[in-house]
Amino acid sequence: MTHLIWLPPQRMGGHMAWSSMSDAWRETQERVRALATERRSGYSAAMHHTRSVIVLFVALIALECVLFGIESNSSLTTIKNGVLLGFLFACPVLLIGGMMLIRQPWTMMVAVIYSTIALALDLATIVQEASQPSPRITFLILTLGSSLLNFLIMVLGGRCLLTFQPRARPAESHLPKLHLP
């Protein structure tokens, strides 16, 4: 079944036309692909380091998945488990979304704050595990990797923030301008 949609006159060379849903879907995919490959930044050229911070967050989420899989047999209450899952997975995903969509310096500041807290928790976990009579080497190595990623997020995010120029003009919006008839 084909659904017809109305395309505004400026999209069809000034002519009013009806188009199939597949044409609109194809056009939407092309716009999303153009936005994804486009090199844009926030208010300043210093926000170009956002992509590397996003990659580090993706690596951190993958590493935390492995660590959570190793520690899945630990006895946590439902509330503690929910808070842990929210901190380990939901917060980084929201930060990635914020850095990709909002592109504002404050999202980078939140990323630096998150990585600082996560680094402190990782270091406490390393000390606790190392003080055990028989520490798990795999768990220690993965936690050290998580600590390193959090440290790199802090460094690169801090670099973005410290080189930010508040008087710079905002980048122009690349969203289509809708003209109502």
24: exposed, middle or buried (C-beta count within 10 Å: 0-12, 13-18, 19+)? middle
The SS3 of residue 5 is strand
List, in sequence order, every beta strand (DSSP E) within 12-160. Answer: 17-20
The domain locations on the chain are: 48-162
The answer to whether the predicted template modeling score (pTM) of the entire model surpasses 0.85 is no
Strands (E), the chain: 4-7, 17-20
CA distance linking residue 34 with residue 23, whole number of Å: 17
Quick one: average pLDDT of 27-54? 63
Instruction: Residue 118: name the closest of 153, 81, 72, 68 by CA.
Output: 153
d(C-alpha 72, C-alpha 62), whole Å: 15
Radius of gyration of the chain (CA): 22
* Distance separating alpha carbons of residues 31 and 166, to the nearest angstrom: 30
Give pLDDT tens digits for 86-144.
888 889 999 888 888 887 888 889 999 999 999 999 999 999 999 999 888 998 999 99
Average pLDDT rounded to a whole number, residues 77-84 = 76
A 10 A CB-CB count for 41 gives 16
Percentage of the chain surpassing pLDDT 90? 29
Is the Cβ–Cβ distance between 9 and 15 less than 8 Å?
yes
Task: State residue 21's pLDDT score.
Answer: 53
Phi-psi region of 76 (alpha: psi -120 to 50; beta: other; left: phi over 0): beta
